[in-house]
Structure 1
Amino acid sequence: MADSHPKMETTILPVDARKLGRIYAVPSTREDDILDDLAIEVDEHNTDAKHLLRAAEQLKHSNIPVAFPTETVYGLGADATRSEAVRGIYKAKQRPADNPLIVHFASLKQLTDLLTPSQATGIKALTNGHTLDIHDDDPIPAIYRPLITKFWPGPLTIILPNPPNSQLAPEVTAGLATFGARIPANLLALALIKLAGIPIAAPSANASTKPSPTAAEHVAFDLNGRIETILDGGPCDVGVESTVVDGLCDPPLILRPGGVSAEQLRSCAGWENVQVGYKNAAETAGSQPRAPGMKYRHYSPRAPVVLFEAGAGAPTVEQMRGYLGGNAKLGVIRTRCWTINAGDDGRLISTSGPIQNGQTSVQREEPGGFVGLLATIRSTPQPSRTITAHNIPAKSSLFELLDLALGPDTAGIARGVFAALRELDKRDVDAILVEGIDDTEGTTAAAVMNRLRKAAEVNVAG
């Protein structure tokens, strides 16, 4: 079906956060190292600062969303308090209207200011008989305080009650009584939100159902002509979206796996018994999703994805031939155990022995708190996107196999998997065969497999 969305000129604006000016945390009266408030002094004569100020003005006054980087993936942002602006997100992405949006804040103060109306009524809570502990001087339920102290700014979204007479546009919550909130650990994102002076609703900056964007070029590929501005802050560090948690129920639930692991959550007071909630009935057809990514098919390139679960044998040449179409070309994404085999045993891809978890993944500990964020502007090495082409005889016909190896490191796989899907899709392959990883080794691996299962049309069991 032809795209009826009116075309506009899309501009990519490069911004280096190190050149913006002075960005600093306002001194806090708290003992813990959290981002209570943020201050920014930009050099208005600097090109990078001009680009950022332009995007902030668009967020404040335009109904056309702006794409910007976070530490997880690129987001598509709009003023969360204006309905017409939020509807611009759904229009640009062609996103289902019952899929709620996460709201991004530059500081804890900005979030508590939005929640302040709840103080007047005193929310006593309501989910599964669990009573919320909300103090007069803190509208955020106390269950979240340990998570905020440890993980914000960072790849964690918390589900909060939408206050009476909320400033949020109703389209943000998609009719729910709650909304998701997070403070991103990306200086460019924080500066943009602070300069705009408004909470920013922002799902991933891709066309709905497509792989999430981890670079500005991915946003442009999907949304060229649908938005005006893409801020290019370089590749994203994490590569999968934030973890979404619901502390308004007992026990608390993980609604979406992401950049913060279940093990990390369970180390926090009140979260020792957190449960996985993203495989429950909320994901079934007809249910309204409680958080983004719970219901609809996501992360899918144009080519069908064939996911081989951890432990599944590598496909033979003849099995691969069954996935061929008119282009006589397949893509393969290798991770842990598949190796290219030049032998004559009927296999091009062979399976090596299992690699121990301790050898495959080194979880990188990020600096804690906002002081660590300010001190370090990360430049994370990105996984190789080198594609090797092989011409493979298959009985009487030939086909081309495009091989992309992400390597065994879990964090590297997470950062590279969406880019790998997009890179192979651009080569017009008939299908993409993906070597899965063990999703029981940690929430980063679980997040990767959660996305791949939503992307896959065919799933080969281990």
Structure 2
Amino acid sequence: METSIFPVDARNIGRIYAVRSTRQDDILDDLAIELDENSEDAKHLLRAAEQLKCSDIPVAFPTETVYGLGADATRSEAVRGIYKAKQRPADNPLIVHFASLKQLRDLLAPSQAIETKALTNGHTPDSHDDDPIPPMYRPLITKFWPGPLTIILPNPPNSQLAPEVTAGLATFGARIPANLLALALIKLANIPIAAPSANASTKPSPTAAEHVAFDLDGRIETILDGGPCDVGVESTVVDGLCDPPLILRPGGISAEQLRSCAGWENLQIGYKNAAETAGSQPRAPGMKYRHYSPRALVVLFEAGARAPTVEDMGGYVGGNAKLGVIRTRCWTIDAGNDDAPIMTIRSDENGNTDAQVEGAGGFAGLLATLHSMPLPSRTITTHNLSAKGSPIELLDLALGPDTAGVARGVFAALRELDKRDVDAILVEGIDETEGTTAAAVMNRLRKAAEVNVAG
């Protein structure tokens, strides 16, 4: 099939506004859209929404984290289309994306939603007693939705969700993305959307439409291009159904931020426990399989590890005599040093500028933030080295010291160097204890790496 990329600018699709209920702490109870019928951007969005409703071929679209590959979460054939396009293992569950809390509640308790509408003329009552969303999650929803947070929920009896979404589990992951195009697409389709990252399975996650096209060209029909993603790593996945609550996957919201919410003070890390061991079924995406990997060998140097010498690099060189290096905080290049062209420097300047993701600031924050953050510069500098008389072409890509910038750029950097046919990519890791996204970056890099050099 032919794959087409359609540019869509949220500023040009028409009017989008929130519909609030009488629940004072609801961030996005419902969403309303008035499309501009003369806008090409709106037409592209409508076309994609119709495909989601009627086709079994998934649609790629931007979120604030990474690009997603979406399909109707209520139809088995459509969900199987995701697994087919990605070539993804069938026991890896999918996250379901919603446009509003109302849409999520309707899935969790459809009969209750009908009764509520009849009794209240569409207005949700003040009491939280009838809320099918477990009260444990209300502090997180209030603070972080829309945003890069996925919550684990019980799959209701006689669920509308296709069984392929949950991969046989009794629960599913749900989130409301902080991206206006994603919200508008889901609202127009009027169905919950199952959407993993829009990459070929095991490959680096896509943070731009071009990454999706590179992986899935000929496997899907439609890619909505909304520009580069803001966060760059997937959502944090939390399970509040167990005691203590767990983080199942690190992402755009940190453990510290979650622990600041009532009821979440004793949050524990769950992605390094037995759920990740071979033979177990993953409870959330990204827990089990090797992931985020380019074709080239990835060598991860943990924070504090000595930078590789020429002799070290010679051990990673293959038939192409090319190596890539991704630098972050402390590595600097001295191509004139025959023994140690990559040097480790200790620097305290601007080393911990980890951006805090405090949610989207509600729906008003989304409306006020229509410009995506640019991806970090991907300028590659080439250095010619020699190891024991053999030439090495070193392709150097510096992401800079800012953790948020590293997160937005690391997948793109892996892809860019892989396109240059390097034999291996040497990556300077960052300290995972530093803040919001550092743990997520290192989690993804460890899953991508075949060789890990300790600090």
Normalised by the length of structure 2, the TM-score is 0.95
Contact 2:310 2:338 in 1 (8 A): no
Within the candidate set 325, 340, 344, 1:347 is matched to: 340
User: Quick check: 1:231 aligned with 2:203?
Assistant: no
Q: Take 2:350 and 2:172, find their aligned partners in 1: how far apart are those partners?
A: 36
SS of 1:388 mapped into structure 2: strand
Q: How far off is 1:27 after superposition?
A: 3.1
With over 3 angstroms needed to count, the CA separation of the structure-2 counterparts of 1:39 and 1:117, relative to structure 1, is closer
- Indicate conservation of the 8 Å contact 1:211/1:300, yes or no: yes
Match of 2:195 among 199, 202, 218: 202
Q: Give the superposition deviation at 1:318.
A: 1.3
1:152 equivalenced with 2:145 (yes/no): yes
1:255-296 C-alpha deviation (Å, 9 max, x unpaired): 000000101100100000100000000000000000000000
Code of the aligned partner of 1:380? M
> Closer, same or farther in 2 for the Cα pair 1:208/1:367, shift >3 Å?
closer
Query: Across the two proteins, how many residue pairs are aligned to each other?
Result: 442
Mapped to 2, the partners of 1:252 and 1:18 lie a distance apart of 39
Using a 3 Å threshold, how does the CA distance of structure 1 residues 173 and 118 change in structure 2: closer, same or farther? farther
SS at 2:437 equivalent:
helix
Which residue does 1:44 correspond to in 2?
37
> What code does the residue aligned with 1:150 have?
K
- Distance across 2 between alignment mates of 1:227 and 1:456: 28
Q: Deviations over 1:408-458 (max 9, x none)?
A: 000000000000000000000000000000011124100000000000000
Q: 1:23 aligns with which of 11, 16, 24?
A: 16
**Structure 1 position 245, deviation (Å):** 0.1
Residue by residue over 1:219-246, the C-alpha shift from the partner in whole angstroms, topping out at 9 and shown as x without a partner, is 0000000000000000000000000000
1:159 and 1:180 in contact (8 A); partners too: yes
Give 1:373 deviation, angstroms.
1.2
Partner of 1:177: 170
Q: State the one-letter code of the partner of 1:456.
A: A
Matched, 1:91 2:90: no
Decide whether the 8 Å contact of 2:230 with 2:408 is kept in 1. Answer: yes
Indicate yes or no: 2:89 matched with 1:115: no
The answer to whether the aligner puts 1:143 opposite 2:132 as a matched pair is: no
Question: Does residue 1:455 correspond to 2:448, yes or no?
Answer: yes
Answer yes or no: is the 8 Å Cα contact 2:146–2:359 preserved in 1. no
Q: Is the 8 A contact 1:33 1:371 kept in 2?
A: no
Using the alignment, how far apart are the partners of 1:373 and 1:74 within structure 2? 18
**Aligned with 2:306 (options 294, 313, 317):** 313
Q: Which residue in 2 is equivalent to 1:285? A: 278
2:96 alignment counterpart: 103
The 8 Å contact of residues 117 and 163 in structure 1, kept in 2 or not, is answered as no
* Structure 1: 5+ residue stretches without partners: 1-7, 121-133
Q: 1:249 to 1:235 in 2, by over 3 A?
A: same
Alpha-carbon distance, 1:11 to partner = 0.4
Residue-by-residue CA offset, 1:136-164 (whole Å, 9 max, x unaligned): 52000000000000000000000000000
1:330 to 316, 319, 323: 323
From 399, 404, 410, the equivalent of 1:406 is: 399
Preserved contact between residue 96 and residue 195 of structure 2 (Cα < 8 Å): yes
Q: Which amino acid aligns with 1:50?
A: K
Question: Could you tell me which amino acid in structure 2 is paired with residue 53 of structure 1?
Answer: L
> 1:251 and 2:244 equivalent?
yes
Distance between the aligned counterparts of 2:442 and 2:155, measured in 1? 31
Secondary structure (helix, strand or coil) at the match of 1:237 reads: coil
Following the alignment from structure 1 to structure 2, what is the Cα–Cα distance between the partners of residues 317 and 369? 51
Q: In 2, Cα distance between the equivalents of 1:366 and 1:266?
A: 14
Helix, strand or coil: the match of 1:306?
strand
Matches within 5 A, 1:352-371: 352-355=345-348, 359-363=352-356, 367-371=360-364
Q: Match of 2:254?
A: 261
CA deviation vs aligned residue, 1:206-231 (integer Å, no higher than 9, x gap): 00000000000000000000000000
- Given that residues 350 and 401 in structure 2 are in contact (C-alpha distance below 8 angstroms), is that contact kept between their aligned partners in structure 1? no
Q: Distance in 2 between matches of 1:63 and 1:361?
A: 40
Change (3 A) 1:356 1:270: farther
Deviation digits for residues 55-75 of structure 1 (CA, Å, limit 9, x no counterpart): 000000000000000000000
Task: Please say if residues 210 and 301 of structure 1, whose CA atoms lie closer than 8 Å, have aligned partners that are also in contact.
Answer: yes
Counterpart in the other structure of 1:373? 366
Letter aligned with residue 64 of structure 2: E
RMSD over aligned CA atoms reads 1.6
Establish whether residue 382 from structure 1 lines up as the match of residue 370 from structure 2: no
Aligned to 2:69, which of 70, 76, 80? Answer: 76
Aligned 8 A contact 2:306 2:344 in 1: yes
TM-score (norm 1): 0.93
TM superposition shift of 1:30? 2.2
Counterpart of 2:121 in structure 1 is none
Equivalent residue, structure 2, for 1:5:
none
What percent of counterpart residues are identical? 87
Superposition deviation, residue 366 in structure 1: 5.8
Query: Aligned AA for 1:179?
Result: F
Instruction: Quote the residue 1:397 is aligned against.
Output: 390
Q: Which moved more, 1:395-404 or 1:238-247?
A: 395-404
Aligned-partner residue type, residue 310 of structure 2: V
The runs of at least 4 consecutive aligned structure 1 residues that moved more than 4 Å come to: 117-120, 356-360, 364-367
Spell out, residue by residue over 1:143-198, the C-alpha distance to the aligned partner (whole angstroms, 9 max, x if none).
00000000000000000000000000000000000000000000000000000000
